[in-house]
Amino acid sequence: MPSTAEQLHAVQIAPSILSADFGRLRAQVQDVLAAGARVIHVDVMDGHFVPPITFGPLVVEAIGDAVHAAGAIIDVHLMIERPERQVVEFARAGADSITVHVEATPHLHYVLAAVREAGCAASAAINPGTPAAAVSEAAAADSLDMVLCMSVDPGWGNQALIPSSYGKLRRLREQLPRSVALEVDGGVHRETAARCVRAGAGVLVAGSAVFDAADPGAAYLELAAAASAARWPAPEAALDADERR
Ligand code: DX5
Ligand code: ZN
């Protein structure tokens, strides 16, 4: 079985349960797993770092068996202040990778080490207003398994991808060692998925595009097909104006 870090290197769609029907959460997760999803994205919000409050470790635990039985992983995205205080709880609950925001802690190096210590892949997220260089020291220190590039402001699903995100993804992909996976989160749908892959993203988080569809499994498959048809690096001539920025 591939390691978590290996699983994060494939070009793929990571359904985000933020847009799922919570009354049928397990069934909805099982739908996308049956369709082939191998990364399930869990958005944790604390009402401080971002206004909404969503899930805690109990929700990770509730879907853990189903996800792991399918050979898939749980990708926890912590949109919380001082994430270093919560890492162990999420790891115990079944998280396989844990992403912390660089804007949410003065102790990035420490928290990334704590994530690995807890047995998870370590990832740092940057908001749209944060420069790509904010993860360069963590990359140089070999503290990162993945970088998550927010392509919308964090806190809500169903927003439009900010077009300058393509250029930022390209810069990140060029700047980061190949051993560091690149994830994009926000506004991924059928048209933007291919553009994100051409810009260098591998893991494409998709919430509303999967779970607002009548058939989430079919929506996942359509997105996965669009993503896997695209290639990085794309020839300059294949890029549109937004992607060249
Ligand atoms: C937003 C979350 C996303 C969200 C994306 O703060 O981090 O993971 O689920 O939703 P869509 O795919 O609808 O933009
Ligand atoms: Zn997310």
Residue pair 36/15 in contact (Cβ under 8 Å)? The answer is: no
Which of the residues in the chain have pLDDT under 50?
Answer: none
Which atom, in ligand 1's list, is nearest to the CA of 208?
A: 13
Would you say 166 and 243 are in contact if contact means Cβ atoms under 8 Å apart?
yes
Decide: 205 in ligand 1 pocket, CB within 6 A.
Answer: yes
Catalytically active residues, by annotation:
43, 185
Q: Which residues pair with 101 in a beta bridge?
A: 125
Number of structural domains (the chain) is: 1
Q: Which ligand is nearest to the CA of 151?
A: 1
| Helix (H), strand (E) at residue 225 | helix 216-229
Q: Is the CB of 196 under 6 A from ligand 1?
A: no
Pocket test for ligand 1, best of 13, 16, 22, 159 (most atoms within 8 A of CB): 16
Q: Please report the atom of ligand 1 found closest to the CA of residue 207.
A: 12
Is residue 109 within 8 Å of residue 134, measured between CB atoms? no
Ligand 1 centroid distance, CA of 239 (Å): 25
Cβ of 154 closer than 6 Å to ligand 1, yes or no, is yes
- Relative to the CA of 77, which ligand 1 atom is closest? 7
What gap in Å lies between CA 87 and CA 82, rounded to an integer?
Answer: 10
Cα–Cα distance measured from residue 37 to residue 55, given in angstroms and rounded to the nearest whole number: 21
Beta strands in the chain (DSSP E): 12-15, 39-45, 73-79, 97-101, 121-126, 146-150, 181-185, 203-206
Tokens of 152: 């919308």
Indicate if ligand 1 lies below 6 Å from the C-beta of 16. Answer: yes
Angle at Cα 151 formed by Cα 147 and Cα 154, nearest 5°?
90
Number of Cβ atoms within 10 Å of the Cβ of 217: 18
pLDDT value for 83: 98
- Does the pTM surpass 0.95? The reply is yes
126 in contact with ligand 1, CB cutoff 6 A: no
Per-residue confidence (pLDDT) for residue 244, from 0 to 100? 83
Q: Which atom of ligand 1 approaches the CA of 158 most closely?
A: 13
212 by Cβ neighbours in 10 Å (0-12 / 13-18 / 19+) ranks as: middle
Centre of ligand 1 to C-alpha 190, Å, is 15
Q: Which domain holds residue 97?
A: 4-244
> Do residues 148 and 114 lie in contact, with contact meaning Cβ atoms separated by under 8 Å?
no
Residue 238: per-residue pLDDT: 82
Which residues share a beta bridge with 97? 75, 121
CATH number of the CATH domain containing 204: 3.20.20.70
